[in-house]
């Protein structure tokens, strides 16, 4: 039994296998062929935070794989009224075949996994969002071929998405250049651990340095879920970190732009970039479905 709490819970070979399967499963779907390896299986989906893409892609994905998904918002379950995480994990994992969780502290999902009898999937914590990187790498490779050895620029908050791009540099072998404002840098331990595992990651506080000759430029909101009250102070700290057409001119001419969404046009990205020819954000969002179907097949099929 395996959990997927961060990208580093699967080997490099397994991460590659999941993406290879995602491409095959996507082709089957587009060709109208059914693929139902999870017939009779149920995924419990616990949400402590809002979601559009994650909820829909897991729910539709389970349906297409022949299974069923249950939407469990914490406000409507006993978890939201203080039932211990360990007790909820024991109970839910005695009925479901897999559990997906979107929550705040990463320690919550770790605790859940410790007491779960079935695979637990991270649908976003404050620390990481690994499912998003599976979709992002799938998207890059559909457009540009293998991401190994390519240069990815991360411009913005050193948040859960930045951390996932850091872990992805281990799994997928791209070079990562981070540009984050002072005070909003990624977690030092997570960064050091990725470097220890061989990831090629550099860091600065200059978006132009990060974007220089990049094959892919990615960013995310300045205030993540749970940080809404910091919006004003973050807007000040992140001034100069908007991915504009000017920033994109420093990247390779065929560089792609990505954003996990939802996006704030005029804050972390200009409308011209996100709605422009280099942007692949809609493919990225759709690929959540295909990448996670491959992940579900990997974790839940017999
Ligand atoms: N990118 C992403 O996880 O989107 P949602 O918050 O809509 O699930
Ligand atoms: N960093 C964002 C990602 C949303 C998909 C957040 O955590 O809110």
CA distance 159 to 163: 6
205 three-state secondary structure: coil
Atom of ligand 2 nearest to the CA of 224: 8
Cis peptide leading into residue 262 (ω within 30°): yes
| Known active-site residue 78 | no
- Determine contact, residues 299/4, Cβ cutoff 8 Å: yes
| Known active-site residue 126 | no
Contacts for 292 with CB less than 8 Å, ≥ 6 apart? 57, 58, 61, 131, 134, 135
pLDDT score, position 235: 97
Contacts for 185 with CB less than 8 Å, ≥ 6 apart? 158, 178, 203
* Closest residue by Cα to residue 68 from 45, 93, 92, 46: 45
pLDDT score, position 268: 98
Structure tokens at 118: 């079935």
Residue 282 C-alpha to ligand 2 middle, in angstroms? 17
- Determine contact, residues 268/156, Cβ cutoff 8 Å: yes
CA distance 81 to 78: 5
Structure tokens at 268: 């972390």
Residue 141 C-alpha to ligand 2 middle, in angstroms? 23
In tens, the pLDDT along 161-188 reads 999 999 999 999 999 999 999 999 999 9
Atom 2 in ligand 2: residue holding the nearest Cα = 224
Radius of gyration of the chain (CA): 19
Atom of ligand 1 nearest to the CA of 124: 3
Residue 274 C-alpha to ligand 2 middle, in angstroms? 17
pLDDT < 70 regions, the chain? none
| Known active-site residue 215 | no
Domains of the chain by start residue, with CATH: 7-129+287-300 (3.40.50.1370), 132-284 (3.40.50.1370)
This prediction's pTM: 0.98
Atom 1 in ligand 2: residue holding the nearest Cα = 224
Residue 224 C-alpha to ligand 2 middle, in angstroms? 5
Q: How far is CA 13 from CA 7, 9, 10, 292, in A?
A: 12, 12, 8, 17
Measured in degrees and rounded to the nearest 5, phi and psi for residue 173 equal: 70, 25
Q: Which residues line ligand 1 (CB under 6 A)?
A: 51-54, 124, 132, 260-261
- Determine contact, residues 204/178, Cβ cutoff 8 Å: yes
Atom of ligand 1 nearest to the CA of 50: 6
In tens, the pLDDT along 98-108 reads 999 999 999 99
- Determine contact, residues 104/127, Cβ cutoff 8 Å: no
* Closest residue by Cα to residue 1 from 113, 162, 137: 113
């Amino acid at each position: 039994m395996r959990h997927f709490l961060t990208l580093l819970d699967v080997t490099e070979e397994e991460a590659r296998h999941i993406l290879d399967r995602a491409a095959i499963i996507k082709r089957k779907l587009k060709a109208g062929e059914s693929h139902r390896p999870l017939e009779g299986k149920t995924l419990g989906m616990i949400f402590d935070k809002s979601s559009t893409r994650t909820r829909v892609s897991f729910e539709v994905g389970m349906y297409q794989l022949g299974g069923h998904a249950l939407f469990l918002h914490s406000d409507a379950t006993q978890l939201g009224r203080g039932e211990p995480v360990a007790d909820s994990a024991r109970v839910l994992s005695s009925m479901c075949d897999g559990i997906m969780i979107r929550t705040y502290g990463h320690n919550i999902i770790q605790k859940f996994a410790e007491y779960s009898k079935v695979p637990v999937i991270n649908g976003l914590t404050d620390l990481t969002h690994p499912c998003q990187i599976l979709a992002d790498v799938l998207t890059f490779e559909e457009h540009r071929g293998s991401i190994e050895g390519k240069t990815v620029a991360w411009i913005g908050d050193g948040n859960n998405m930045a951390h996932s791009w850091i872990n992805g540099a281990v799994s997928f072998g791209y070079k990562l250049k981070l540009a984050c404002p002072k005070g909003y840098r990624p977690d030092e331990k997570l960064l050091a651990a990725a470097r220890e595992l061989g990831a090629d990651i550099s860091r600065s506080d200059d978006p132009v340095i990060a974007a220089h000759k990049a094959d892919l430029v990615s960013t995310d909101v300045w205030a993540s879920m749970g940080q809404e009250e910091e919006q004003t102070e973050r807007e000040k700290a992140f001034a100069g970190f908007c991915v504009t057409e000017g920033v994109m001119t420093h990247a390779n001419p065929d560089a792609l732009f990505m954003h996990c969404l939802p996006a704030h046009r005029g804050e972390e990205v200009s409308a011209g970039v996100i709605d422009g020819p280099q942007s692949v954000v809609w493919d990225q969002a759709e690929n959540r479905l295909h990448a996670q179907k491959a992940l579900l097949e990997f974790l839940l099929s017999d």
